[in-house]
Every structure is written in C-alpha cells, then in structure tokens.
Amino acid sequence: MYQTVRKGDIFEIKIPEGWRHQTADSLLRTEWKLPKKLIHQWRMNQTVFVNGSPVNWHAPLAEGSVLQLPFFAAAEKGPVPYKRKVNILYEDDHLLVADKPADMKTHPNTENESDTLLNAVAYHLQESGESGFLRHVHRLDVGTSGVILFAKHHAAYAVLSRLLEEREIKRTYIAVVHGLITKNEGTINQPIGKDRHHPSRRRVSPSGQTALTHYKVLKRAVKQQLSLVQCQLDTGRTHQIRVHMASIGHPLAGDCLYGGKPITSHQALHAVSIEIPHPFTGEKLVCKAVPQEQIFRLLDKS
C-alpha cells in the first residue's frame, strides 16, 4: 500500500521505492495514464508540488518525497441529489461502490430525471458534506441489481475507466436461467450487435462487436427447471449476459425481451462482486453485494 493523505483539495502521496526514478510527468502519463488535457491544466495552473515547492516536471522523484496533486479541487457542479437510501459497500476519497436496487436506473436519461442511483449517491455525499464531481464508471440495466463503481474526481474517473477497459477491474454476476444447463461451465464467444427490428434489443450477429462470456453452473433446480449460473465478462456489451444465455437456449428468468418467462418482474441478474486494483492506494478492493431478490433465495433452498 502507498502512504497517502488528503489535505483539503490536495492529494498527497509519498513516493515509494519503486517510483524513485519516475518524474512527475512520467508518473502521471505512464503510471496512471491521466488525460493529457488534465495534466496540461495542472501544469499551466502550477498546482502540482513536491514537498511544498512547485514541481520540476522532468526531475526524478526522490524516494520518500511527497507529491501533492489537486485531485479534489472543485471542478464542476455535481448531479442533483435525490433522497433515497442506498447501500454503500465501500467509499474513500477517490471512489465509491454502491449496491443498485433492481427497480432503479443507474443514471438519468433526461434532464428532468433525478430518481436514479447516481442522484441517490449524490444525496449520500451531500449528507457527508461533499458535493461536485461524481460519475458512474459503468452501468447496469434497469432490472439488474448489484455493484456499481463511481468516481469522485476527474483523475479517478479517467484511471478507473481505463482499468475497466483493460479488464483489470473484474465483475462477477449471478443469474437464474430457464432450463437445466448440461455443461458445468463454458464460454460463449459470439459477437453482439443491434437488432434492426427492435430499438432496445441486441442479438448475436456476425457483424456485431466481439463479446465473450464465461459461465459456471452453481446449482440446478430440477423441480423448477431453472439453473443458477455465475458469469464473468471479458467484454462489456449492452445486454451481454442476457443475449448470450438466450443464444444457448437458456434465457434469464423474467427477461421477456429475450424469451424468458415472467416468473419474476424483471430479469434475474445480479452483479454480485467487483475487484478493483486501487490506483491511488495500491490496495486490491473486493466488494460484494448479497442479492435481495426472492428468486435467488428460493433457488438456493430448492
């Protein structure tokens, strides 16, 4: 773990032995790979310091020196707070992981919407005396519950988005699907594209984007003719698990859009955990959300 501390708008990090040959410029560009625009802004505003003095951008950083960065400087107005209690699984100065209920959108789709998880998290931060930048790093469909990662400043959003794209952030889902899957585990490697006959539906398509889903059967309920599966994604296509499971003849329970039966009010899909290599503390975070939907509990007891 790195030695770090927040002091007002400033993030301080003590340079570890492994970074002692880095310059401030190379650290921001190659270690964290921050956006060029953000680094340029800090350089022009002269808001980066080492041990309290303006940084020499191209001088090697000494082990034990303290790099000071304006991570938390007010940058913009945040989302409109919406008063609704949400389960916060983890939070620090840089990021937050929340457990999305199945009946809630991840973020607004119109200017007038505010009853979303993003707005509810903004209300949580407001109650803690925080405001300003807040952004979801990924999203879940309406009807899908579970873990969602939020960034609390621009640098965090940039790094976490990259880590997600590079598959360094791992997300695990569980789903209840129709039928008894015969294989204990497998991989579905089928491209996914838009369905030209339906505006919100996706389908397996040779001209679609590459999509890779790994699944493992956790339980088979013979009486109910349902299977509980764990899924991990190598890609993050819209409706990926829903499309892929339907493509092998096992649509999600409740997912009427893809052939599931309405035995529950929405698709039985839950993002159960997320693993995050924390870029600013060096920790490996693992956050888990217990599914609240009755269908998961009933299947587990069958």
Catalytically active residues, by annotation: 141
Element (H, E) at 247: helix 240-247
Are residues 23 and 69 in contact, defined by beta-carbon separation less than 8 angstroms?
no
Q: Which of 192, 93, 86, 211 is nearest to 148 (CA)?
A: 86
47-50 contacts at long range (C-beta below 8 A, 24 or more positions apart) = 47/73, 48/24, 50/24
Structure tokens at 274: 């997320």
| Per-residue DSSP letter, 302 | -
| Per-residue DSSP letter, 200 | T
Residue 50 C-beta-side C-alpha neighbours within 13 Å? 15
| Residue carrying the six token digits 């598959």 | 167
Structure tokens at 12: 């301080």
Are residues 42 and 97 in contact, defined by beta-carbon separation less than 8 angstroms?
no
Q: Which of 138, 140, 192 is nearest to 165 (CA)?
A: 138
